[in-house]
Amino acid sequence: MTIPTFPECNHPLVKSLSHYSDQELLTLFQRHADAGQYFAAIFCRYSPMVYTLIQHSARSPVQADYLFAQTWRHIFYELGGLDLRSPDGEAAFTLQNWLLNVTAVCINQAELPPVEAIHYNLQAAPPPLWCYMERALDQLPPVLRLIVLMAQTFGWSETRISAYLQAEGDFMSPAEVRVRLQEGYQLLEANLPDDVRSIYLTGNTWLQGDPLATI
């Protein structure tokens, strides 16, 4: 298995952060929850290390990509409360060591599904985009979130979504589903941080597939 490369690492917003230390990037990430470039910079710095560890524990590239994404998802949610310093203010451990430990835990605890059950596409939804897309999805009103998931994750048609909703007591015609689906897409994109949209969605043709389809 080869270690994948990520074009976002060459984006100006990410490259401009290359001179920051790990602690500085962590602090910026924690202080600016409305920005995604700091997590992207940490990801770009350490994705080769994490993937190298993971590729030896997976039976196939598909499983390796899936575990890689799941590991970075775990890292994303844990970084918000991470403190690398001991009570006396000195560095207790490094971000690299912490990432090594977290990756090892994720590998040891992973229960990987069979290849045919995995629909994650690393090229369509690199882990930083996946994490922020998932967070943006959680901010949608429940009905819009359900419609978007049925359309994108399960590939349901507007007619089938309408039938499902009606069976659940929410009467919505296929035409209304179409309108609400577009509303959901627009709100989902609006919920993404501006820099995430710039890095991943604005004028980028390198994404191979629909990132929503992997959620």
Quick check: 195 and 144 in contact, CB under 8 A?
no
Rounded CA-CA distance 132/135 in Å is 5
Rounded CA-CA distance 41/96 in Å is 14
Per-residue pLDDT of the chain (215 residues; tens, 9 = 90+): 688 999 999 999 999 999 999 999 999 999 999 999 999 999 999 999 999 999 988 888 999 999 999 999 999 999 999 998 766 555 568 999 999 999 999 999 988 888 888 888 888 889 999 999 999 999 999 999 999 999 988 889 999 999 999 898 888 999 999 999 999 999 999 999 999 999 998 766 555 666 665 55
Structural domains in the chain plus CATH codes: 7-116 (1.10.1740), 129-214 (1.10.10)
